[in-house]
Amino acid sequence: MLQAFDSEYTLVEYLDARIGDWVTKHFYTGDMKATGWIPYLDKWESISFNIIQATPDPA
């Protein structure tokens, strides 16, 4: 997940519940947090970050 959002800006495709269809929009990431590497499971316990739409929708 962190690699997918490693660049400053990225395109995100998601299901927009309001319009009932898939859309692709331009986003950037906020602060990323990774809390707890579990060595014996070889994974992170949790990772969180916000994505913010970089290009506003037309009004």
Give the residues across from 23 on adjacent strands. 14
Give the pTM: 0.63
Strand extents, DSSP E, the chain: 9-16, 21-34, 37-38, 43-44, 47-53
Tell me what pLDDT residue 44 has: 78
Tell me what pLDDT residue 26 has: 92
| Domain edges within the chain | 9-53
pLDDT, tens digit, for every residue of 7-57? 788 899 999 999 999 999 999 988 877 788 888 888 878 888 888 999 888
Spell 12-50 as b/e; 16+ CB within 10 A means b.
eeeeeeeeeeeeeeebebeeeeeeeeeeeeeeeeeeeee
- The CA-atom distances, in angstroms, between 7 and each of 16, 28, 29 are 23, 8, 9
pLDDT exceeds 90 at position 3: no
Higher pLDDT: 2 or 40? It is 40
